[in-house]
């Protein structure tokens, strides 16, 4: 019987082991451009490792996942961070896991608001993009460069994200 995963709200503190939550935090705000613009400063850091690596910006158009959903794998990018930011203010799911001896532990599922993005630090286990409720575009900042920047792990016993109400 697959273990059911609970869904919790995405907060900076809860997400700290995995990276940063990208949101308009008033504590980071500084007025610029003659007071016409609020700059929410340095919300995350793009990491790229290795000679010849670069930071790239992408748009991912995600198909909505259906629930109950079987989490049968996780992945990580050893040579760089990866951030996702929703472009249509639609909630989405963030699924991460601590590393346990080179494999992901039990996944942790966060419900992100439509104004919250995340930046996975390099080598953090996560599930590929999980759009919900409709086709959703995300601005994705990650790494291009030499080396195989993708490690996948498939669970012998998948976990399940049950149906849920927003
Ligand atoms: N493969 C790819 O670029 N996307 C994944 O890394 C992901 O986390 O969605
Ligand atoms: Ni990824």
**Global confidence as pTM:** 0.96
Interface pTM, i.e. ipTM:
0.94
pLDDT for the residue numbered 119: 98
- Host domain of residue 28: 24-161
Q: Are 111 and 79 in contact (CB under 8 A)?
A: no
Q: Tell me how crowded residue 116 is: count the other CB atoms within 10 A of its CB.
A: 24
In a domain, 9, yes or no: no
CB-ligand 1 contact for 128 (6 Å cutoff): yes
For residue 75, the CA-to-ligand 1 centroid distance in Å is: 8
CB-ligand 1 contact for 118 (6 Å cutoff): no
Instruction: Read off the pLDDT of residues 4-25 as tens digits, 9 standing for 90 and up.
Output: 999 999 999 999 999 999 999 9
CB-ligand 1 contact for 151 (6 Å cutoff): no
CB-ligand 1 contact for 161 (6 Å cutoff): no
In a domain, 18, yes or no: no
In a domain, 148, yes or no: yes
In the chain, which residues have pLDDT < 70? none
In a domain, 154, yes or no: yes
The CATH number assigned to the domain holding 127 equals: 2.60.120.480
In a domain, 58, yes or no: yes
**Euclidean distance between CA atoms 29 and 26, whole angstroms:** 5
Q: Give the count of domains, the chain.
A: 1
pLDDT for the residue numbered 106: 98
The mean predicted confidence, pLDDT, of the chain is 98
In a domain, 19, yes or no: no
């Amino acid at each position: 019987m697959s273990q059911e995963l609970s869904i919790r709200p995405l907060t900076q503190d809860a997400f700290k082991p995995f990276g940063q939550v990208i949101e308009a935090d008033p504590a980071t705000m500084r007025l610029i451009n003659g007071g016409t613009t609020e700059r929410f400063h340095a919300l995350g850091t793009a990491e790229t490792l290795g000679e010849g690596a670069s930071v790239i910006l992408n748009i991912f158009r995600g198909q909505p996942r259906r629930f109950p959903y079987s989490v049968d794998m996780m992945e990580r990018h050893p040579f760089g961070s990866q951030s996702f930011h929703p472009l249509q203010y639609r909630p989405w799911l963030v699924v991460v896991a601590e590393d346990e001896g080179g494999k992901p532990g039990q996944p942790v599922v966060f419900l992100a608001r439509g104004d919250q993005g995340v930046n996975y630090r390099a080598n953090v286990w996560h599930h590929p993009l999980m759009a919900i409720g409709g086709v959703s575009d995300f601005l994705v900042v990650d790494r291009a460069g030499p080396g195989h920047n993708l490690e996948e792990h498939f669970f012998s016993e998948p976990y399940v994200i049950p149906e849920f109400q927003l």
